[in-house]
Amino acid sequence: MTDAAILIRDARLLGEQTVDVLVREGRIAELGENLTAPESARVIEAEGLVLLPGLVDVHTHLREPGREDAETVQTGTRAAAAGGYTAVCAMANSDPVADTAGVVEQVQRLGQDAGWVEVRPVGAVTVGLQGERLSEIGAMADSRAQVRMFSDDGRCVHNPVLMRRALEYVKAFDGVIAQHAQEPLLTDGAQMNEGAVSAELGLAGWPAVAEESIIARDVLLAQHVGSRVHICHLSTKGSVEIVRWAKQRGIAVTAEATPHHLLLTDELARTYDPVYKVNPPLRTAEDVQALRAAVADGTIDVIGTDHAPHPVQDKECEWACAAMGMTGLETALSVVQQTLVDTGLITWADVARIMSADPARIARIPGQGRPIAVGEPANLVLVDPQARRIVVPEEHQSKGRNSPYRGLELPGRVMATVWEGHPTVLDGRMATPRTPEAEGARA
């Protein structure tokens, strides 16, 4: 059986004109005013709510297989649906590493069985993320998972010869290398952003040039090879300038910023609370402003959450011993609203581009990030932009409690998420997952 029809009434399409949307058999059947639907249709009253295409995250850590104490595909994808997402790209640093066709297919199956969002595995660039030899890139690309994005995220592909070979390899099937830009020799033992705060606190500094030097090298390699490179979690003003220069030269580079790098600064390290320890580190207020401007002018293409859940014991310890990373799927849209929409830097239509259309385009995910138009897959999210909420990580769907926004009031609330015609969130609460049987019937 397929899902019943859905009628969304009086939604603000991309924050502008009011429309009704009729969904049938997983697709948008009608779009207009005063639409009618069959008696069996589910009606969603959406007056005052902003209607966006379902969000797509190019940078999610689901941890499974191997680190189910931190997150599972089930809990991570529930978190994604709660945050308005209909697709996520699962990073490769699981255990075992997603460096073979078998592992990426396992991750894909886990996503299908969970039924909350589409899970697109990211393949490792090198075997075991060790940076010594290329992984089974071709086999992963040809597998049922049809991997198109490859990354050693968490580690940098710092060997330029390997990076060049990887770029050459993925060019054959229009893939992309997503680089974690961090020169390891410049960040050995680093604990936080190198600057005035690190000097005062006596913590080993993480210089901006460690990120910028890798980005500069890789855009030149991408130009030389004629391939696509994507920069993960760009965090410095200098990185913005390098990417902007590369785009002006026509180099096929895209870049992402995380919500936390758009809002938080290295001043928070003064608390010595490890919840603020992240890779790359929180930077200066000047860097934050540069990133916001770069999203607004298109230099930064997408928002990637870098959702990185950890068990409590890995975060509730002294700073030097703590794991790096923050959760982000359930708060990303709110942070983007606060830092970019409510400040007037971008519109809701821009949000649709940076959090849906362009992420799907970069990761080559068919059916995701599509315009809200008749005949398109019904991947949709309804947001109440007037709502306010205090962040309580214990209420999140993710296993991770390491949210840097604990106790903060953020704007916006996801009221409904619809994945190919199936509501996974309704009235601001989790609904039901899509069953594999329903998915098979629709196919």
d(CA 68, CA 15): 38
If asked whether residues 292 and 388 sit together in one domain, one would say no
If asked whether residues 253 and 312 sit together in one domain, one would say yes
Is pTM beyond 0.95 here?
yes
Torsion sign across C-alpha atoms 191, 150, 104, 422: positive
d(CA 110, CA 104): 10
Point out the catalytic residue in the list 3, 301, 306, 350.
306
Check whether 443 has a pLDDT greater than 50: no
Q: Which residues are annotated as a binding site?
A: 59, 61-63, 93, 153, 180, 233, 279, 306, 310
pLDDT of residue 3: 84
If asked whether residues 71 and 30 sit together in one domain, one would say no
Q: Is residue 371 part of a domain?
A: no
Going by pLDDT thresholds of 50, 70 and 90, the confidence category of residue 196 is very high
Q: Residues 62-73: what's their mean pLDDT? A: 97
If asked whether residues 24 and 89 sit together in one domain, one would say no
C-alpha closest to that of 86 among 308, 310, 366: 366
Q: Is residue 206 part of a domain?
A: yes
Q: Is residue 119 part of a domain?
A: yes
pLDDT digits (tens, 9 = 90+) for 26-35: 999 999 999 9
If asked whether residues 222 and 272 sit together in one domain, one would say yes
Q: Is residue 1 part of a domain?
A: no
Decide if 3 is catalytic: no
Check whether 440 has a pLDDT greater than 70: no
Q: What is the CATH number of the domain that holds 42?
A: 2.30.40.10
If asked whether residues 27 and 137 sit together in one domain, one would say no
pLDDT of residue 38: 85
If asked whether residues 313 and 177 sit together in one domain, one would say yes
Q: Is residue 368 part of a domain?
A: no
| Residue 394, token pair as written in the block | 């214990």
- Diameter of the chain by CA atoms? 67
If asked whether residues 34 and 61 sit together in one domain, one would say no
| Residue 310, token pair as written in the block | 């950890």
Q: What is the CATH number of the domain that holds 246?
A: 3.20.20.140
Check whether 437 has a pLDDT greater than 60: no
Q: Which residues are annotated as a binding site for substrate?
A: 61-63, 93, 279, 310
If asked whether residues 347 and 422 sit together in one domain, one would say no
DSSP output for 383-405: EEEEEEEE--GGGSSSS----TT
d(CA 239, CA 235): 7
Q: Which residues contact 132 (CB under 8 A, 6 or more apart)?
A: 126, 162
Structural domain tally of the chain? 2
d(CA 374, CA 157): 43
Check whether 249 has a pLDDT greater than 90: yes
Share of the chain above pLDDT 90, in %: 96
Q: Residues 368-380: what's their mean pLDDT? A: 98
pLDDT digits (tens, 9 = 90+) for 329-347: 999 999 999 999 999 999 9
| Residue 341, token pair as written in the block | 């929409």
Q: Which residues are annotated as a binding site for Zn(2+)?
A: 59, 61, 153, 180, 233, 306
Q: Is residue 165 part of a domain?
A: yes
Q: Residues 258-266: what's their mean pLDDT? A: 98
Q: Residues 182-190: what's their mean pLDDT? A: 97
If asked whether residues 14 and 120 sit together in one domain, one would say no
Q: Is residue 369 part of a domain?
A: no
If asked whether residues 87 and 184 sit together in one domain, one would say yes
Find the domain containing 432 and state its range.
Answer: 6-51+376-396+403-438
If asked whether residues 296 and 412 sit together in one domain, one would say no
Q: Which of 338, 363, 388 is the last residue of a domain?
A: 363
Q: Is residue 418 part of a domain?
A: yes
Q: Which of 310, 340, 363 is the last residue of a domain?
A: 363
Torsion sign across C-alpha atoms 12, 18, 20, 25: negative
d(CA 282, CA 339): 16
Check whether 439 has a pLDDT greater than 90: no
Check whether 402 has a pLDDT greater than 90: yes
C-alpha closest to that of 63 among 400, 429, 290: 400
Check whether 129 has a pLDDT greater than 70: yes
pLDDT of residue 37: 83
Q: Residues 125-141: what's their mean pLDDT? A: 98
d(CA 60, CA 121): 10
